[in-house]
Structure 1
Amino acid sequence: MRQIVPYARVGHAEISITCFAVCERFEDGKPGSAMGGHMTNQERLHSDQADTALFKDMLRAVVGSVSILAAGQGAGRRGLTVTAGVSLCADPPIVLACINRNVEAHDVILGTGAFSWNVLSVDQLELAERFSTPGIGNGASRFSPAKWGEMITGSPVLLASACSFDCKIQGALEQETHTIIVASIVAQIFNKNNFSLLCFDE
């Protein structure tokens, strides 16, 4: 079951158990096939692509911080919950975010050329669900339960997050269903006493 938890709950036990479960699937594998046995001609044609279903299962074992990406102003504000936000470079500070092109926040983020990356704290599970669950608020109404501010770009910034980054887009690349966005950090907030939410399979 997919869980969103405080950082303190995640330990080596969960990670070891998950790795063992993944490795166990391959214990009967044989040379010449990633999944065991001999490949058919059709399998050889697609041997450069991993099995999608297994890939999704394995990704559930990857522990990730839970964040909200947000952009726009006033009634035009939009945001989404993600685990696909990472540091790309420390000097200068640059981050990378991957956003599904079907979500409503996608075009607002690209249109404004800026966004905030807000790493949620342990008491913000409800907010994470609000920005990720259809039918629980929509558009700018999703922002109402929390306190938001602005820094340099004008993007909405979550004031009580574990940490928040004000990001200016430097480049974007469409890849399959998502857009990969590279952005420089122009301002940041660090609430060091707030523990982060993490997402993992239990």
Structure 2
Amino acid sequence: MNSIVRNLQVDRDVAPAEFRGAMRSLAGGVSVITVGRGKDITGMTVTSVSSLSVEPPTLIVSVNRQSSSWPLLQRYGAFGVNILTADQLDIAERFSGKDGLKGAARFAGAQWVTRATGVPLLVGGLAAIDCEVEEVIERHSHAIVIGRVRDVITAVPRTALTYWDGQYVAIDQNEDALKLAEVSLPSPRGLREI
């Protein structure tokens, strides 16, 4: 493994509120990370999922080490990434913990299946990705979890649920693609389309 570790000298500390405000400018797809097996399950709503590699299929998720999901992720070494549709806002809210539900209670009201690793995967989302933990990198309050994809369930594309500027936003591929085309910058002159 190649890694670079540096001791950074910072002129000033950035306040958490300042950083949080800047990060609200970054729109993110909303997913529910599920962990555990059987009745020993829980999960959390995140916007921190990113693909790492296609060959082999791997992805990255950032997990707060104080979350209820962290011990189960460590114990079972597997997790599910459930990419939500705009119609699944209630699931995003339930797994965010705002209503006080914990553990298996968060899974009520939706259909779940298991695949290779045994973690619950949501039926009817945009996609559900079954992952085995390949590596964990602990930094500060969070851990970067690298997951090797073991199975994928996809659905017919629908309106996606995203989070931007402190609120949930629906993105519809057909409608929003037309809106973006209307306001897009023209192609630079001299470039040939292929």
TM range (shorter): 0.7 to 0.9
**CA apart distance, 1:144:** 1.2
Report the counterpart of residue 104 of structure 1 in structure 2.
68
What amino acid is the match of 2:97?
T
Aligned-residue sequence identity (percent) comes to 31
Report the counterpart of residue 192 of structure 2 in structure 1.
none
Q: Conserved in 1, the CA contact under 8 Å of 2:49 and 2:60?
A: yes
**CA apart distance, 1:135:** 3.4
Runs (5+) with no aligned partner, structure 2: 1-8, 168-194
TM-score (norm: length of structure 2): 0.77
Q: Conserved in 2, the CA contact under 8 Å of 1:81 and 1:131?
A: yes
Report the counterpart of residue 124 of structure 2 in structure 1.
160
TM alignment of 1:40-189, pairs within 5 A: 46-47=10-11, 49-189=13-153
TM-score (norm: length of structure 1): 0.74
What amino acid is the match of 2:89?
L
Runs (5+) with no aligned partner, structure 1: 1-44
Deviations 1:56-109 (A, max 9, x none): 111001000000000112220110000111101111111001100111111101
What amino acid is the match of 1:187?
D
Q: What is the CA RMSD across the aligned residues, in angstroms?
A: 1.6
**CA apart distance, 1:139:** 1.1
Q: Which consecutive segments of 4 or more residues in structure 1 shift more than 6 A?
A: none
How far apart in 2 are the matches of 1:106 and 1:167?
A: 15
**CA apart distance, 1:48:** 6.6
Q: Secondary structure at the residue paired with 2:86?
A: coil
**CA apart distance, 1:50:** 4.0
Q: Conserved in 2, the CA contact under 8 Å of 1:74 and 1:140?
A: no
Q: Conserved in 1, the CA contact under 8 Å of 2:44 and 2:97?
A: no
Deviations 1:125-177 (A, max 9, x none): 01100011343421111101100001111110001111110001001011000
**CA apart distance, 1:196:** 1.5
Q: Conserved in 2, the CA contact under 8 Å of 1:130 and 1:137?
A: yes
What amino acid is the match of 2:157?
N
